[in-house]
Amino acid sequence: MKNKKRTNSIMLFLVLFFVSLIQFSNCNSAESANDHFQNGKREFLEKNLEKAKLEFQIAVDENPKSISSYIMLGKTLYYLGDFQGSLDILRKAKSKFPENPTIDFWISKNYLVVETDLSKAKEHLLNILELDDLHFEAYYYLAKINEKEGNIKEALLYYNKAKMIKKSFEKVHKDLGNLYLKAGMIERANEELAKVEKLENKKVKK
């Protein structure tokens, strides 16, 4: 009986020991991953993209639960011109974190470069709006895509929604004004282009 109790005690001790060891290892990995992530951000801001890529890749490997590491690795690969590599890492992130609008945004950015068919980019931009209906970039890029495809009515709709979110963003007023011109809506075009001039004058005064 005593031997049985002793065996059970030893087993319990070993289980607790290994659990503690795993937790300690996971904690160290998370801390190390965060260090590499911070290093990666610093290199990214300094435009050392190859170094940033290596740091973010290590961060992802050491902590696969870090959404930020996946996104920054995808962004870095995008700016390095490795669009397929960026898509691969972002698709992997999407499978792990399906409801993150930033992941959808960067997937769409890659599709705008690598795909002549813009339907995939549109799909991800629309996904963003299901998660965040105030996402300026999603509306803006949907407007650009629809304009390119000749869908003037839809493009005008998305430009106007983008404009309501960022009223002081000159480019959306300029693009909207130019599209109104193409559509023969001269009065509205003049209104938008006047806003561009007004915003530019404000900058000069500052």
In the chain, what are the domain boundaries?
1-118, 134-206
CA 87 and chain centroid, separation: 12
Q: Report the pLDDT value the prediction gives residue 29, as an integer from 0 to 100.
A: 74
Same fold? 1-118, 134-206 = yes
* 134-206 maps to CATH 1.25.40.10: yes
Helices (H), 47-185: 49-62, 67-79, 83-96, 101-114, 119-131, 136-148, 152-165, 170-182
Each residue's pLDDT tens digit in the chain (206 positions)? Answer: 555 555 555 554 444 444 343 444 444 577 889 999 999 999 999 999 999 999 999 999 999 999 999 999 999 999 999 999 999 999 999 999 999 999 999 999 999 998 888 999 999 999 999 999 999 999 999 999 999 999 999 999 999 999 999 999 999 999 999 999 999 999 999 999 999 998 888 777 66
Q: Report the pLDDT value the prediction gives residue 18, as an integer from 0 to 100.
A: 44
> Does residue 93 contact residue 71 with C-beta atoms inside 8 Å?
yes
Whole-angstrom distance, CA of residue 78 vs CA of residue 105 = 12
Whole-angstrom distance, CA of residue 100 vs CA of residue 6 = 51
For residue 4, CA distances in Å to 9, 14, 18, 133, 158 come to: 9, 15, 21, 63, 73
pTM: 0.79
Q: What are phi and psi of 80, to 5 degrees?
A: -80, -5
Q: Report the pLDDT value the prediction gives residue 191, as an integer from 0 to 100.
A: 95
The torsion defined by the Cα of 36, 42, 44 and 47, in degrees rounded to 10, comes to: -140
CATH number listed for the domain at residues 1-118: 1.25.40.10
Q: Report the pLDDT value the prediction gives residue 90, as an integer from 0 to 100.
A: 97
